Amino acid sequence: MKASVDCEFSTVRGIFFPIHRYELKKIIPLGIILFITLFNHYCLKNIKDSLIVTNVGAEALAFIKLFCVPPGAVLCMLLYTKLSDKLKNEHLFYATLSSFLCFFALFAFCLYPYRSFFHPSHDTIVGLQVMFPSAFWLFSILGVWSYTIFFVLAELWSSFILTLLFWQFVNQITELKDAKRIYAFLAIIGQSAVTLSGFVGAMASDIKNNTPEFQDPWQITLNYLIGTVIVTSIIVMFLYHWMYQHVLTDRRFYNKPYLPGIKIKKSKSSIWQGLKMAITSPYLGLIALLVICYGINDNILENFWKHELKNRFPDINQYNTFMCQYTMHYGLFSMFILIIAGNIFRRFKWGIGAMITPCIVTLGGIIIFGSIFAKNYCIQCLGSALAHQSLIIFAGVVVLIGIKSSKMSFFDLSKEMAYIPLSEDLKVKGKAVVDVLGYRFGKSGGSGLQVILLTGVTLCSGTQATYESIAPYAFIIFLLTSCVWFVAVSRLSRKIHVKN
Half-sphere exposure of 60 (CA within 13 A, CB side): 25
- The predicted pLDDT at position 22 comes to 79
State the Cα–Cα distance between residues 462 and 340, nearest whole angstrom. 51
Which pLDDT band holds residue 262 (cuts at 50, 70, 90)?
Answer: very low
Amino acid at residue number 163 = T
Give domain status of residue 473, yes or no. Answer: yes
Give domain status of residue 7, yes or no. Answer: no
State the Cα–Cα distance between residues 238 and 235, nearest whole angstrom. 5
Number of domains into which the chain is organized: 1
Higher-pLDDT residue of 9 and 171 is 171
Higher-pLDDT residue of 263 and 390 is 390
- The predicted pLDDT at position 343 comes to 67
Q: What is the pLDDT of residues 8-45, one digit of tens each?
A: 666 656 656 667 777 778 888 888 999 999 899 989 99
Residue 189 sits in a domain whose CATH number is 1.20.1250.20
Q: What is the pLDDT of residues 326-347, one digit of tens each?
A: 888 887 787 777 667 666 766 7
State the Cα–Cα distance between residues 127 and 134, nearest whole angstrom. 13
Q: Is the pLDDT of residue 266 over 50?
A: no
State the Cα–Cα distance between residues 479 and 453, nearest whole angstrom. 16
- The predicted pLDDT at position 2 comes to 41
Which pLDDT band holds residue 437 (cuts at 50, 70, 90)?
Answer: low
Give domain status of residue 204, yes or no. Answer: yes
Which residues have C-beta within 8 Å of that of residue 453, sequence separation ≥ 6?
465, 470, 473, 474
Q: Is the pLDDT of residue 276 over 70?
A: no
pTM of the model: 0.73
Contact yes or no for 272/74 (Cβ under 8 A): no
- Arithmetic mean of pLDDT, 309-333: 82
Give domain status of residue 404, yes or no. Answer: yes
Percent of the chain residues past pLDDT 90, beyond the cut: 19
Give domain status of residue 337, yes or no. Answer: yes
Greatest Cα pair distance, the chain, in angstroms, is 72
Q: What is the pLDDT of residues 231-240, one digit of tens each?
A: 999 999 999 9
Q: Is the pLDDT of residue 126 over 80?
A: yes
Residue 22 belongs to domain spanning: 15-257+266-499
- The predicted pLDDT at position 323 comes to 85
- The predicted pLDDT at position 6 comes to 47
Q: Is the pLDDT of residue 265 over 80?
A: no
Give domain status of residue 5, yes or no. Answer: no
Cβ neighbour number for residue 93 with a 10 Å cutoff: 23
Q: What is the residue-averaged pLDDT of the chain? A: 80
Phi, psi of 57, deg, nearest 5: 135, 155
Which pLDDT band holds residue 263 (cuts at 50, 70, 90)?
Answer: very low
- The predicted pLDDT at position 224 comes to 93
- Arithmetic mean of pLDDT, 464-480: 84
Give domain status of residue 3, yes or no. Answer: no
- The predicted pLDDT at position 264 comes to 39
Contact yes or no for 152/39 (Cβ under 8 A): no
Give domain status of residue 1, yes or no. Answer: no
- Arithmetic mean of pLDDT, 270-284: 65
